[in-house]
Amino acid sequence: MSSTTFDLIVIGAGPGGYIASIRAAQLGLSVACIEKEDRLGGTCLRVGCIPSKALLESSELYHEAKDGFDRHGIAFGEVKADIAKMMARKDGIVKTLTSGIDGLFKKHKVQRFQGVGRFVARGKVAVVDANGKVAHELAGKNILVATGSVSAPLKGVEVDGDIIGTSTEALSWPAVPKHLVVIGAGAIGLEMGSVWARLGAKVTVLEYADRPLAAMDVEVSALAKKLFEKQGIAFKLGVKVVGARRAGNGALVEVGGQPPIECDRVLLAVGRRPNTEGLGLEAVGVKLDERGRIPVDHHFRTQALGVYAIGDVVRGAMLAHKAEEEGVACVEFIATGHCHVNYDAIPNVVYTSPEIASVGKTEEELKAAGIPYKKGAFPFMANARARALGHTDGFVKILAHQETDRILGGHIIGPRAGDLIAEIAMAMEFGSSSEDVARTCHAHPTLSEVVKEAALAVDGRALNI
Last residue of a domain, one of 324, 341, 358: 341
Residues 23 and 95 in one domain: yes
Q: Which residues pair with 126 in a beta bridge?
A: 118, 137
Give which of 396, 422, 414 is closest to 356, Cα–Cα. Answer: 414
Residues 401 and 454 in one domain: yes
User: In the prediction, which pLDDT does 3 show?
Assistant: 59
Is residue 463, in this structure, part of any structural domain at all? no
Buried b (16+ CB within 10 A) or exposed e, 377-415: bbbbebbebbeeeebbbbbbbbbbbeeebbbbbbbbbbb
Residues 246 and 380 in one domain: no
* 352 and 391 Cβ atoms separated by less than 8 Å: no
Residues 14 and 123 in one domain: yes
Q: What is the pTM of this model?
A: 0.96
pLDDT tens profile 263-312? 999 999 999 999 999 999 999 999 999 999 999 999 999 999 999 999 99
Residues 168 and 218 in one domain: yes
User: Which helix (H) or strand (E) element contains residue 315?
Assistant: none
User: What DSSP designation does 76 have?
Assistant: -
Residues 10 and 62 in one domain: yes
Last residue of a domain, one of 341, 375, 390: 341
User: In the prediction, which pLDDT does 347 show?
Assistant: 98
User: Domain range for residue 361?
Assistant: 345-458
Rounded Cα distance between 411 and 420, Å, is 10
Residues 138 and 41 in one domain: yes
Under-50 pLDDT residues of the chain? none
User: In the prediction, which pLDDT does 4 show?
Assistant: 85
User: In the prediction, which pLDDT does 300 show?
Assistant: 98
CATH number of the domain enclosing 91: 3.50.50.60
Is residue 158, in this structure, part of any structural domain at all? no
User: In the prediction, which pLDDT does 2 show?
Assistant: 53
Residues 249 and 374 in one domain: no
Last residue of a domain, one of 341, 359, 386: 341
What is the signed CA dihedral for 138, 144, 150, 154, rounded to 10 degrees?
Answer: 110
Is residue 159, in this structure, part of any structural domain at all? no
What is the signed CA dihedral for 212, 216, 220, 226, rounded to 10 degrees?
Answer: 0
* 15 and 101 Cβ atoms separated by less than 8 Å: no
* Strands lying side by side in the sheet with 265-268: 164-165, 265-268, 179-183, 202-207, 233-237
Residues 301 and 431 in one domain: no
pLDDT tens profile 78-124? 999 999 999 999 999 999 999 999 999 999 999 999 999 999 999 99
Is residue 283, in this structure, part of any structural domain at all? yes
DSSP calls for 97-140: HHHHHHHHHHHHTPEEEESEEEEEETTEEEEE-TTS-EEEEEEE
Ramachandran sector of residue 69 (left: φ over 0; alpha: ψ -120 to 50; beta: rest):
alpha
Number of domains in the chain: 3
Is residue 75, in this structure, part of any structural domain at all? yes
Active-site residues, by number, are: 444
Residues 6+ apart with CB under 8 A from 385: 445, 446, 447, 449
pLDDT tens profile 146-176? 999 999 999 999 999 999 999 999 999 999 9
